[in-house]
A and B are shown apart, each in its own frame.
Chain A
Amino acid sequence: MNKIILRGRKVVGGCSEGEALVTRDTISGWGGINPQNGKIIELRHELYNQSFKDKVLVFPGAKGSSGWSAFFHAARLAGAAPKAMIYNITTSKSALGAVVTHAPTVTDLEQDPLDIIETGDWVKVDADNGIVEITKRQGNQRSSSSEDIKEQVSH
């Protein structure tokens, strides 16, 4: 199967891979996640009751309390952190949160990762080189090759 490659900017170095967990909702740290198990606890959230533990978390950005970094920090200490993160909007919350989670993280991708990556896809984040490698899960049809993406973008 074809792999899709996206390039972006390193936030936190390292290289890691795993299954993607994708949301278009911004995430709260304090009051938004349970750091013991990595579950989203905000009731109106698209990922309510799903855990990012050992997943590649793909999300637009952070919102809410300044406890964002402390809660992702706590998730790391509890062994419930994501394996890697990809986000679109850099804020002090998301940047500091990624730093203290120690998970390879990239942002500012050349195309919107939320249009390309779907939950269940296999994603490798090589943050040192700013490269995201996506293998679509069978049945995830949004984009199965880079040609499709180019087509999508040009429309």
Chain B
Amino acid sequence: MRLTEHEQAMLDGKEGPAKQKAMDLLVRYGEALGAERLVDTNNVSSSVSASSPVMREFAAKHGGGFDAIFSEFNLDSAETVKIPKIETHACQLIQAVDPDHWQTQGISRERYELNKESEEYSGSIGIQLLSTCTPYQVGNVPVKGEICAWMESSAVVYINSVLGARTNCEGKESTGAAMLTGKIPYWGYHIDENRLGTDLVEVEIEMETMEDWGLLGYYIGEMIGDRVPVINGIKGTPDHNMLKHFGAAASSSGGIEMYHMPGITADASTVEEAFGNNKPKTVIKYGKAERQQAYELLNHSAKDKEVDFIMLGCPHASLEQLWDICKLLDGRKINGNTDVWIFTPRALRQVADRSGYTKIIQDAGAKLMSDTCPAIGQILPEGTKVVATDSAKQAHYLPAIMGIQTWFGSLEDCINAAITGKWREY
């Protein structure tokens, strides 16, 4: 890789050991990618939380507290280096603990305390504690063309496609190095030609509900893997919630990090512009049969109709989604055998509190939480065997991560299950 004078100086340790380790990781990573150089970035979304007992044990063994954890888990450095204040703007993504609901979530006091200390550490080096998988819902909205270094597959696909920002799907180590140096390998979706469409999807049915968008995303991820689909035939304009669900689904069943909906998403206004000089590798149609196939894939783990737990808010819910939930819950009570946990960014939870949404949710017997989710925090109400969710992403991951049956359906299906305790028997 070609390095600038400044990059070489950092690699040579002239700006201290933390930047030296960061540059070492970026060079190893850049070479693994086949990148020719690094590029500047000032927008990093990362995961610096150190809330697991495994990490505390690790830190204790290496005698360095949180610097030891950052060195190993965010820089791939076995040697503990002192971490200075970071160079770039950076925010914390979703983490494992909700500091306000840890007891309900079955989190131990030890883990709660560790999370608190970890947050203090992250804040002290300059990381914004947004603690959400959707920084773009709470102020970090990159502009078209902005080079970013973001983790979180659902956020990566959103800012690349909907906003036209430029990021690859980074990891804990590369974002740790990026926030210390302001550098990331110049590769992949930073480069014009890699953002062009590769496959054409002809949508032949109406896309109306959030469920429709989750299913379309899940099907496309399954079929297209990690290429760049161009989705044609969308009538009307989906809102940001629909595109959030669509991208999260597509990046779970597959590895979609970039897509085009010509005229809707940022990079292209026509199908021709989306493909540039590329010829579509495949042309797939999406009709009723394909929608049904995606539905069956998502529900493959579910058998029992008795539902213990309803999970809403993956990716973290917007205020509009919270209000839609409120309208369905207002004046009703959820079943005594069912728990309902709804997840939103902590910044939006404050607005929900002040707007009276939280009270409507609580009065119905549901809970509004933030900062985490069942899959990330590995948290469930005690004794949960069967979960229902309106999120294709959560339905994809929960059976594997938590070993529970998972139903996927519409928000209305989920709320009805919350009231009756049964899936789709009404």
Which A residues contact B (CB, under 8 angstroms)? 9, 11-12, 26, 31-32, 41-44, 61-70, 73-74, 77, 89-93, 95-100, 105
Contacts and interface: CB of A to CB of B under 8 A. Distances in A.
A44 B400 CA distance: 9
Interface string B330-368: 000000000000000000000000000000000000000
B188 A70 contact: no
Contacts of B156: 66
Nearest to B93: A66
B250 to A, nearest CB: 11
Interface of B: 25, 28-29, 32-34, 47, 54, 58, 72-73, 76, 150-153, 156, 168-174, 187-188, 225-226, 251-252, 254-255, 297, 300-301, 375, 396-397, 399-401
Contacts of B297: 44
A66 B32 contact: no
B255 A62 contact: yes
Interface of A is mostly: mixed
Contact of B400 (A42, A89, A93): A42
Contact of B32 (A31, A44, A67, A98): A98
Contacts of A31: 375, 396-397, 400-401
- A-B pairs, 4 with minimum CB distance: A69-B171, A63-B255, A66-B151, A95-B32
B225 A91 contact: no
A93 B73 contact: no
Contacts of B58: 77
A92 B401 contact: no
Given A63-B226, A89-B226, A96 B255 contact: no
A42 to B, nearest CB: 5
B254 A96 contact: no
Contact of B255 (A41, A43, A64): A64
Contact of A73 (B73, B150, B168, B301): B73
A96 B400 contact: no
B400 A69 contact: no
